[in-house]
């Protein structure tokens, strides 16, 4: 006699295909499991959030899923992706692309996902729908647990949790759960995020606000449809975002309008953005476009002197503070996590997954993850630590 066993998953959904079952993680990542692997466990049927088996095979099913999740892909870009979860063996401190970055201040940078819905012409990461980098997505429960440990270690009042991804945080289906989870951590008083806002809706804004998000940094790069489309490298829902900006301030959350000023491209619209910011009572966080190794290069970057001179002129003209620093956001220095490695230290560790860019691999040691420059895809690598700043580790 068979016992029917329904195995349900909160974060996975399933779609039956001819020869495969598509397993969808966090709505935008998926992998395929050949149907013969599932039928080898017993008769089965597929439901949206569960698999129903004629046998008691939960443990075996987990092994099958663990085998094929290695082929996880981003459904939007097709990029290979690593799911970083509590049992993955990958610590969340050590990397600039995912997890937790502690730069020794009262602000912790949180990176649950890589990947973006736009294709900004100035993107410092060359992110977007045409990105060809390896992606990461972090299990929300694991992320909250590890944030809690770091906040406890830092032990300061008014801790800010800043969700600033290499991409767009609204692509993370668990964003609200993440905000709710960190909002109840003792000493967390500010939760903020950087967003292009194209995927934001009134309902999501309200839910984020009610969950504890109290600052929205919106990268609005112009005031005309033509310019915002040009800067986004895609159709940008300008009218919609303008309405949301008003709504954010109406809710009582802080709004920061954070355009990137790309010389020769959006210069003419910066004054209008300042006027908009004043009208909405928003802070203006104008950013200097900078050229980065992996970034797009639509213009020559202005020197910091040139940039600050331009800001000074605009400050005088519009009677507004534009040269912001940490004090404008109440960011103070705070205890940093200890660094378990020193420069030049030789380390040996096993490769756990690919790094963000070609010829990079992620390894783990001493509760940190390290990005190693190597052609190897698996096995053990021996390398020298070449960066330790801010607990972001590189090895070569």
CB of 311 to ligand SF4, least distance (A): 20
Q: Applying CB under 6 A, which part among 15-23, 73-81, 125-133, 316-324 lies near ligand SF4?
A: 125-133
- Asked whether position 116 contacts ligand SF4 by CB under 6 A, the answer is yes
Question: Whose CA is closest to 297, among 121, 63, 162?
Answer: 121
What backbone torsions phi and psi does residue 30 show, to the nearest 5 degrees? Answer: -155, 160
Q: Site mask, ligand SF4, residues 217-256, x = CB under 6 A?
A: --x-------------------------------------
CB 93 within 8 A of CB 337: yes
- Asked whether position 123 contacts ligand SF4 by CB under 6 A, the answer is yes
Query: Tokens in use for 125?
Result: 């990461």
> How far apart are alpha carbons 82 and 25 in whole angstroms?
11
Q: Applying CB under 6 A, which part among 112-120, 333-341, 364-372, 377-385 lies near ligand SF4?
A: 112-120
Question: Hey, which residues between 183 and 202 contact ligand SF4 (CB under 6 A)?
Answer: 196
Q: Applying CB under 6 A, which part among 118-126, 263-271, 318-326, 340-348 lies near ligand SF4?
A: 118-126
CA 128 to chain centre: 13
- Determine which residue in the list 99, 167, 169, 181 makes contact with ligand SF4, applying CB under 6 A: 167
Q: 208 or 351: whose CB is closer to ligand SF4?
A: 208
- Determine which residue in the list 38, 57, 110, 125 makes contact with ligand SF4, applying CB under 6 A: 125
- Asked whether position 109 contacts ligand SF4 by CB under 6 A, the answer is no
**Residue 73: strand, helix, or coil:** strand
- Determine which residue in the list 25, 41, 110, 120 makes contact with ligand SF4, applying CB under 6 A: 120
Conformation bin of residue 96: beta by default, left when phi > 0, alpha when psi is -120 to 50: alpha
- Determine which residue in the list 109, 127, 174, 269 makes contact with ligand SF4, applying CB under 6 A: 127
Q: 260 or 351: whose CB is closer to ligand SF4?
A: 260
CB 261 within 8 A of CB 224: no
> How far apart are alpha carbons 108 and 141 in whole angstroms?
17
Q: 13 or 166: whose CB is closer to ligand SF4?
A: 166
Tell me the residue number closest to ligand SF4, measured at CB.
120
Nearest-10 crossing angle of helices 238-251, 202-211: 30
Q: Which residue has the tokens 């949206």?
A: 48
Pairing of strands 166-167, 114-115: parallel
Conformation bin of residue 167: beta by default, left when phi > 0, alpha when psi is -120 to 50: left
Site size for ligand SF4 (CB under 6 A):
12
Query: Tokens in use for 379?
Result: 């096995």
Report the interface residues with ligand SF4, using CB under 6 A.
116, 118-120, 123, 125, 127-128, 167-168, 196, 219
């Amino acid at each position: 006699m068979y016992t029917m066993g329904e195995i349900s998953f909160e974060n996975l959904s399933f779609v039956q295909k001819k020869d495969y079952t598509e397993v969808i993680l966090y709505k935008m990542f998926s992998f395929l499991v050949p149907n013969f692997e599932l039928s080898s466990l017993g008769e089965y049927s597929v439901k949206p959030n569960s698999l129903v088996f004629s046998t008691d095979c939960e443990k075996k099913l987990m092994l099958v899923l663990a085998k094929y999740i290695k082929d996880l892909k981003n459904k939007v870009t097709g990029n290979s992706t690593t799911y970083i979860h509590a049992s993955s063996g990958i610590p969340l401190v050590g990397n600039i692309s995912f997890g937790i970055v502690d730069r020794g201040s009262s602000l912790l940078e949180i990176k649950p996902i890589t990947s973006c819905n736009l294709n900004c012409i100035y993107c410092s990461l060359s992110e977007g729908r045409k990105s060809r980098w390896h992606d990461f997505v972090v299990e929300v429960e694991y992320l909250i647990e590890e944030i809690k440990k770091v906040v406890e270690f830092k032990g300061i009042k008014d801790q800010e949790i800043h969700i600033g991804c290499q991409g767009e945080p609204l692509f993370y289906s668990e964003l609200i759960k993440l905000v709710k989870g960190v909002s109840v951590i003792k000493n967390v008083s500010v939760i903020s995020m950087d967003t292009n806002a194209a995927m934001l809706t009134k309902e999501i804004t309200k839910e984020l606000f009610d969950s504890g998000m109290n600052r929205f940094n919106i990268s609005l790069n112009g005031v005309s449809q033509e310019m915002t489309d040009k800067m986004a490298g895609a159709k940008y829902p300008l009218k919609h975002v303008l309405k949301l900006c008003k709504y954010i301030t109406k809710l009582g959350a802080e709004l920061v309008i954070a355009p990137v000023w790309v010389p020769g491209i959006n210069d003419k619209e910066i004054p209008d953005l300042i006027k908009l910011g004043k009208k909405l009572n928003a802070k203006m966080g104008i950013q200097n476009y900078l050229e980065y190794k992996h970034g797009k290069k639509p213009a020559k970057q202005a020197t910091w002197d040139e940039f600050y001179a331009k800001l000074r002129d605009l400050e005088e003209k519009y009677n507004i503070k534009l040269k912001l620093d940490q004090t404008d956001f109440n960011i103070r220095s705070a205890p940093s996590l200890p660094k378990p490695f020193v420069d030049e230290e030789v380390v040996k560790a096993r490769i756990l997954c690919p790094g963000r860019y070609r010829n990079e691999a992620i390894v783990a040691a001493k509760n940190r993850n390290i990005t190693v420059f190597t052609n190897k895809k698996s096995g053990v690598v021996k390398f020298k630590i070449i960066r330790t700043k801010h607990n972001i580790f590189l090895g070569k």
